[in-house]
Amino acid sequence: MTTEDERRDKSTLLEGVEEKIKDITNKLYVVLAALIKGNRVNCSNFAQSARLNWLVNRLQSQQASSGVLEVLHSILVDSPEVLNMITESHILAIIGLLDRNGRDPKVLDVLCSLCVNNGVAVRANQNLIWESLIQRRDLLLQTALVDHVTCMRSNIVVGVEDGESMYKKWYFEVIIDHIEQVTHVQPHICIGWTTTHFQPSPGHDDGFSSNGIGDNTYSYGFDGQNIWFAGRAYDVSNNDIKQVGF
């Protein structure tokens, strides 16, 4: 084994150790958050400038920022007096996490807890957060065009039961006489089958997207290339099949 191989092995070993240390450290902070959450006496132990500064400084570490956010949120909610010790540098450090991690819900929860104290607005914190984010609105809100789904079904329903003489194989024809593309998303048609529990949502549902055939577990559809089920596409195409689209 050469010296270069030894260095490579040591580097790989250290990378694995660092990941484990990062995971363990974060979990320790999560445990700490669970211990102090809802307990004002325990949270008040952090109502000291030195301890609060140390905690906020830990946010700069990639190893434990997620767990530290949970601890900080618990302290701000259950120990309102800590808000009196929050400084501008603390708030800017928390806002800086949005630049690093994006719109992390935990960061937003901490910022929310800084804005209100016992049901009363903390104007100084609100103004500072607003002034810091107004020039970078995309950190909190982004807009995008989403698909609009229109669902149709045949006007003839065939019921089949065991022992009946009803012909069991039916087909339906659908004619689309006009398609107009109005966004960058190319329109397409998806044909499939649904159960009685299927409820299409052409607009926006709780998931902030349209709900059509193949978007839930009560239906599945085929667009000429993929089978759609529960919102996921399963490729079943081959070189001789082209996507049904317009």
The rounded distance, in Å, linking the Cα atoms of 2 and 17 is 23
For residue 243, is pLDDT > 50?
no
- Listed by start position, the domains of the chain span 3-139, 145-246
For residue 13, is pLDDT > 50?
yes
In 44-134, where do the E strands start and end?
Answer: 116-117, 120-121
Gap between the terminal Cα atoms of the chain: 61
Cβ-count burial 214-239 (b if 16+ within 10 Å, e if not)? bbbebbbbbbebbbbbeeeeeeeeee
3-class DSSP state of 60: helix
Mean pLDDT in residue range 172-177: 77
The rounded distance, in Å, linking the Cα atoms of 105 and 100 is 13
Highest average pLDDT, of 10-24, 60-74, 152-166, comes from 60-74
Q: Are 138 and 99 in contact (CB under 8 A)?
A: no
pLDDT at 62: 59
The rounded distance, in Å, linking the Cα atoms of 2 and 224 is 56
Q: Are 59 and 53 in contact (CB under 8 A)?
A: no
Q: Are 32 and 39 in contact (CB under 8 A)?
A: no
Of 1-10, 29-38, 208-217, the one with minimum mean pLDDT is 1-10
| Bigger pLDDT: 92 vs 162 | 92
Q: How far is CA 135 from the centre of its chain?
A: 24
Highest average pLDDT, of 38-52, 60-74, 167-181, comes from 38-52
| CATH for the stretch 145-246 | 2.60.120.920
244 band by pLDDT with thresholds 50, 70 and 90: very low
What sign results for the dihedral spanned by CA atoms 53, 124, 106, 80?
A: positive
pLDDT at 164: 74
φ, ψ at 194 (rounded to 5°): -135, 165
Highest average pLDDT, of 6-10, 140-144, 228-232, comes from 228-232
pLDDT tens, position by position, 181-234? 877 777 878 888 888 777 776 554 444 445 788 888 888 888 888 898 887 888
144 band by pLDDT with thresholds 50, 70 and 90: low
Nearest alpha-carbon partner for 104 in 146, 65, 57, 61? 65
pLDDT at 76: 86
